[in-house]
């Protein structure tokens, strides 16, 4: 009999995406009788709960359980789901992701064949077919060379199974997560990366496979994108403080960019030579941005927006990283 699999999904203000996410789970080639979806629902303001209840009423064949997560902390939500999970395996998932139909079948088959030292196996991430212009442009930017995703972990560009530092959507052995105490609730953002680093410290491995994938919807509002990049920077700094060995040059480049732009902008007000140098650098940055977005297959609007997106990505991430280095007062 196939092992039971439990999806862990924290949710807040996901009325637009919760239906397609659940549809993708309902379409899995894995037996629906051996699937459950645990939703840790915060108090949304966009009607998410109504959409969720309506979807469940129309799809009684999929076991969906709704848990309350009043604090909105996504790590807390994942732990609530983990504690309630009945599956032998748990799938760390997102409310704004869509799974390939074979996602569970492939990941279960691979993890079941691996040794106990492998705590989980994760899938590839592919760009979503976003209807929003900004979400489409953000997806292009993040999956491009300058976006850094492929530099963070080489497994994103791999064409074969291999060990990975971290994978966003991972199927875990539930007993291993329980052994380590679940997700660290100090990490509102980046709790999956923190968990995978902690697993490595305890002698476990995470594996990546390109044989299945999930698409991930990006932010469709400028304010959400800015806030997300800032949170990513804060989370990376906190990860660096907790796991110094995890620091890599790619994480520091946005910090250097932020500091250079800040100092250069202020200095240019008093020195014409610096102003001209900053203007030339800005021109080169625009050309590099267009080239990066074009190489990632971006459409015309995505390419034209890319310089602004990269600029916001680097400055907000860099500012967040510096803020994350400061201890709480």
**Terminal-residue alpha carbon distance, the chain:** 53
At 216, which helix (H) or strand (E)? strand 205-216
Q: What is the pLDDT along the chain (329 residues), one digit of tens a residue?
A: 789 999 999 999 888 889 999 999 999 999 999 999 999 999 888 889 899 999 999 999 999 999 999 888 999 999 999 999 999 999 999 998 999 999 999 999 999 999 999 999 999 888 766 667 888 888 888 888 888 765 555 455 667 899 988 888 999 999 999 999 999 999 988 899 999 999 999 999 999 999 999 988 777 789 989 999 999 999 999 999 999 998 888 889 999 999 999 999 999 888 998 999 999 999 999 999 999 999 888 889 999 999 999 999 999 999 999 999 987 64
Predicted TM-score (pTM) of this structure: 0.89
Q: How far apart are CA 61 and CA 33, in angstroms?
A: 8
Q: How far apart are CA 302 and CA 298, in angstroms?
A: 5
Reading the block at residue 312, the tokens are 């916001």
Domains of the chain: 5-131+154-219 (3.90.550.10), 225-325 (no CATH)
Q: How far apart are CA 292 and CA 303, in angstroms?
A: 8
Computed on alpha carbons and rounded to an integer, the radius of gyration of the chain in Å comes to 21
The residue behind tokens 């609007």 is 301
At 211, which helix (H) or strand (E)? strand 205-216
Q: How far apart are CA 97 and CA 310, in angstroms?
A: 23
């Amino acid at each position: 009999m196939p092992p039971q699999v439990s999806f862990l999904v924290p949710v807040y203000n996901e009325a637009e995406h919760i239906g397609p996410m659940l549809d993708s789970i309902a379409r899995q080639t894995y037996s629906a009788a051996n699937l459950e979806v645990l939703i840790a629902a915060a108090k949304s303001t966009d009607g998410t709960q109504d959409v969720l209840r309506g979807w469940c009423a129309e799809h009684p064949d999929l076991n969906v359980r709704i848990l309350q997560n009043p604090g909105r902390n996504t790590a807390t939500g994942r732990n609530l789901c983990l504690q309630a999970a009945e599956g032998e395996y748990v799938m760390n998932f997102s409310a704004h992701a869509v799974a390939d139909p074979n996602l569970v079948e492939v990941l279960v088959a691979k993890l079941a064949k691996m040794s106990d030292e492998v705590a989980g196996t994760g899938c590839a991430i592919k760009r979503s077919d976003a209807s929003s212009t900004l979400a489409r442009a953000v997806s292009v930017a993040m999956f491009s060379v300058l976006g850094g995703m492929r530099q963070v972990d080489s497994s994103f560009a791999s064409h074969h199974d291999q060990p990975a530092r971290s994978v966003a959507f991972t199927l875990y052995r539930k007993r291993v997560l329980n052994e380590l105490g679940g997700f660290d609730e100090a990490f509102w953002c980046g709790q999956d990366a923190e968990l995978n680093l902690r697993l490595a410290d305890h002698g476990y491995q995470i594996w990546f496979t390109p044989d299945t994938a999930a698409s991930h919807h990006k932010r469709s509002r400028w304010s959400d994108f800015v806030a997300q990049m800032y949170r990513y920077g804060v989370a990376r700094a906190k990860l660096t403080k907790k796991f110094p060995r995890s620091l890599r040059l790619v994480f520091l480049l946005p910090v250097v960019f932020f500091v250079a732009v800040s100092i250069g902008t202020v200095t240019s007000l008093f020195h014409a030579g610096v102003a001209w140098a900053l203007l030339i650098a800005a021109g080169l940055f625009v050309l590099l941005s267009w080239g990066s977005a074009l190489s990632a297959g971006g459409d015309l609007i995505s390419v034209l927006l890319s310089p602004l997106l990269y600029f916001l990505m680097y400055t907000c991430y860099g500012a967040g990283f510096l803020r994350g280095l400061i201890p709480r007062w």
